[in-house]
Amino acid sequence: MSDARRGVPFVLSAPSGAGKTTVCKAVIQRDPCVVLSVSHTTRPPRPGEQDGVHYHFISSDEFRKLVAEGAFLEHAEYSGNLYGTSWAAIDEPLERGQDVLLEIETEGARQVRERRRDAHLIFLLPPSLAALESRLRGRGTERNEEIDRRLAIARREVATASLFDSFVVNDDAVRAADDVLAIIAAMRRGALSDLGNRFSLARLRATLDPALVAWLPR
C-alpha cells in the first residue's frame, strides 16, 4: 500500500443478532490493511476481554468527561452502557494509510454520517426475521422478555437503513465477510459503480424475507 494513500473509515452496523462481530473479526483476519477501531465503553469486561484490545474500559464519569472535551467522533448508550469511538482511534491509522473498521450501533453510524464525509457505511442484514430471532434465542443467555426487547430495537435499527451506503446479507458468515472485503476493495479502486450494482438496497430488496422488507424504510 502506498505511504501517500490515506485510509478510509468503514462503519459496519447491524441489528443485534445479525452477526456483525463475527464478520468484523473475519475481515480483520483476512486483510492486514484493515484495522478494527477500539471503542471506549462503561460496561464491565467480559471473561477473556482485555483493556485496550477489545475495548477501552472506563468509568461513567471518565466517559462523560471525554464527551465534554469533544474526544468522541460518535457515542451512544446501548443496553444501559455508554459506548464511543474517539477521533484518535481512527485518525492515527488513517494517516498511516490503513483502512479502519468501526463496529458500532446505528445511532453511532448516524453521527459518523454527519461528521465524516469520507466514511463508507455498511449495513449487515439477517436473511430473515426468523433467522434473527433464532440467533437471539440460540445464545441461551436471555429471557423471552429480553429477546422481545432486542427484536423491538432491531426493528428500529433496520428502519435506519437509508443512512447506509452498502448492504450485505449475512446468511453465511464467510460469504458476508467476502462481500465486506469486496466493498473495501472497490472503495480503494474508486469503483463506486461496482458497489451500486452489487450492494445497493434496491438490488437486495427482491431477495429479502418480506417480513424483513416491511421493516425497511420505503
Q: pLDDT tens, 18-62?
A: 999 999 999 999 999 999 999 999 999 999 999 999 999 999 999
Q: Where are the domains of the chain?
A: 9-37+100-213
> What's the pLDDT score for residue 140?
58
Supply 70's cell numbers. Answer: 469533544
Q: Are strands 81-86 and 40-41 parallel, antiparallel or unpaired?
A: antiparallel
What percentage of the chain exceeds 70 in pLDDT?
Answer: 96
Which phi and psi (to 5°) does residue 68 adopt? -65, -30
What's the pLDDT band for 79 if we cut at 50, 70, 90?
confident
CB-hemisphere CA count at 13 Å for 130?
Answer: 3
- For 45-77, give the DSSP string: PPTT--BTTTBEE--HHHHHHHHHTT-EEEEEE
pLDDT of 174 over the 80 cut:
yes
Lowest mean pLDDT among 23-32, 131-140, 171-180: 131-140
- pLDDT of res. 2: 47
Class (C level, CATH) for 9-37+100-213 = alpha beta
Cell of 181: 472485503
pLDDT of residue 92: 92
Question: Average pLDDT over the chain, rounded to whole?
Answer: 92
Position 4 scores a pLDDT of 67
What pLDDT, on a 0 to 100 scale, did the predictor assign at position 142?
A: 64
Query: pLDDT band at residue 1, thresholds of 50, 70 and 90?
Result: very low
